[in-house]
Structure 1
Amino acid sequence: MELAIQEQVEDLRRFVPEHTVPETLALLAERFAGAVSFSTSFGLEDQILTHFIFENNLPIRVFTLDTGRNFQETYSTWNKTLLRYDKPIEVVFPQTASVEKLMREKGPNSFYESIANRKECCYIRKVEPLGRALAGQQAWITGIRAEQSANRQTMDPAEWDAGHNLIKVHPLHDWTWEQCVAFAQANGIPVNPLHAKGFVSIGCAPCTRAIKPGEDFRAGRWWWEEAAAKECGLHATTGEHQGFDPVVEAIKE
Structure 2
Amino acid sequence: MNMDVRELNERLGAMTAAERLVALAAAFPVGAVFSTSLGQEDQVITHLVARQSLPVSIFTLDTGRLFQETYDLLDKTIARYKVSIRAYFPDAARVEELLTQKGANSFYESVENRKECCFIRKVEPLNRALKGASLWITGLRAEQSENRQGLSFVEWDASRNLVKANPLLDWSLQDVLDFIHENNVPYNVLHDRGFPSIGCAPCTRAIEPGEDIRAGRWWWEASQKECGLHAESAK
Name the TM tier (shorter chain).
over 0.9
Secondary structure of the residue aligned to 2:163 is: strand
Identity of aligned residues (%): 55
After superposition, the C-alpha distances for 1:82-135 in whole angstroms (9 at most, x for unaligned) are: 111111111111111111111111111000000110010000000000000001
Which of 210, 214, 232 is 1:214 aligned to?
Answer: 210
One-letter amino acid of the counterpart of residue 127, structure 2 = G
Which of 2, 7, 31 is 1:6 aligned to?
Answer: 2
Q: Which runs of 5+ in 2 are unaligned?
A: none
Equivalent residue pairs, number? 235
CA offset at residue 149 of structure 1? 0.4
Q: Partners of 1:36 and 1:94 in 2: how far apart? A: 22
One-letter amino acid of the counterpart of residue 232, structure 1 = C
Q: Partners of 1:12 and 1:121 in 2: how far apart? A: 35
Q: Which runs of 5+ in 1 are unaligned?
A: 241-253
Return the TM-score normalized by structure 2. Answer: 0.97
Residue matched to 1:131? 127
Residue matched to 1:153? 149
Secondary structure of the residue aligned to 1:127 is: helix
* Runs of at least 4 residues off by over 3 Å: none
CA offset at residue 34 of structure 1? 2.0
Asked whether 1:115 is paired with 2:111, we answer yes
CA offset at residue 17 of structure 1? 2.0
Q: Partners of 2:232 and 2:86 in 1: how far apart? A: 25
One-letter amino acid of the counterpart of residue 36, structure 2 = T
RMSD over aligned CA atoms reads: 1.0
Residue matched to 1:94? 90
CA offset at residue 16 of structure 1? 2.1
Q: Partners of 1:164 and 1:57 in 2: how far apart? A: 26
Residue matched to 1:245? none
After superposition, the C-alpha distances for 1:12-64 in whole angstroms (9 at most, x for unaligned) are: 22122211112111122122112110000001000000000011110000000
One-letter amino acid of the counterpart of residue 153, structure 2 = P
CA offset at residue 211 of structure 1? 1.5
Secondary structure of the residue aligned to 2:164 is: strand
Which of 34, 57, 61 is 1:61 aligned to?
Answer: 57
CA offset at residue 199 of structure 1? 0.8
CA offset at residue 172 of structure 1? 0.3
